[in-house]
Amino acid sequence: MDDIEKTVTELKWEKFKMGVKTRFEKVKVWCTDHKEILMVVVPAVISGGVELSKAAIKAKDHKEDRELEDRRLKSVYDRSAGMYLETTRPLSNDDYRRLQQRKRDGMTTGEALDDMGLLK
C-alpha cells in the first residue's frame, strides 16, 4: 500500500512540474513575441504598484498618528501614582478646572477622576 501511494504521489508531482514548465514556456514565448507591449505596460504596472504601496504606508502611518493623538488626549498624568490614567473622553477646560480644585482639596488625580466619573 505504501509503495502504491508513493508512486501515485510521485506521478502527481511529475505532472505538476510538467504543467509548470509548459506554462513557463508559453509565457516566455508570449513575452518574446510581444516585447513592444511589455516595454510600455511593465513600467506602468511597476510605478502603479509603487504608488499604491506608498499610499498604503501613508494611510497606516496616519492612522497610527490619529490613534496616538487620541490616546494622548484621553490620558492624564498622576504624579502620586507615577503613571498615566486613561479617561473615558478628552477632558474639557471645565473638567481640568474641577480636577485642579479637587486636587487642592487633597484628593489624588486618580481619586478626583474617579469621583468625576471620567476614569476608565
- Here the cell at position 34 is 510581444
Residues 105 and 64 in one domain: no
Residues 58 and 95 in one domain: no
Q: State the pLDDT confidence band at 1, using cuts at 50, 70 and 90.
A: low
Task: Note the pLDDT tens digit of each residue in 54-106.
Answer: 999 999 999 999 999 988 889 888 888 889 999 999 999 999 999 999 999 99
Mapped onto helix, strand or coil, the DSSP state of residue 58 is helix
Residues 101 and 52 in one domain: no
Q: Which domain holds residue 48?
A: 2-70
The verdict on residue 120 lying in a domain is no
Residue with grid cell 492612522, as numbered in its chain: 63
Residues 58 and 100 in one domain: no
Residues 19 and 63 in one domain: yes
Residues 30 and 53 in one domain: yes
The verdict on residue 97 lying in a domain is yes
Residues 62 and 108 in one domain: no
Residues 51 and 81 in one domain: no
If one counts the domains in the chain, the total is 2
Residues 20 and 48 in one domain: yes
Q: How far is CA 56 from CA 26, 48, 49, 50, 63, in A?
A: 34, 12, 11, 10, 11
Q: How far is CA 72 from CA 39, 44, 68, 86, in A?
A: 50, 42, 6, 9
Helix locations, 74-119, DSSP H: 93-104, 109-115
pTM: 0.50
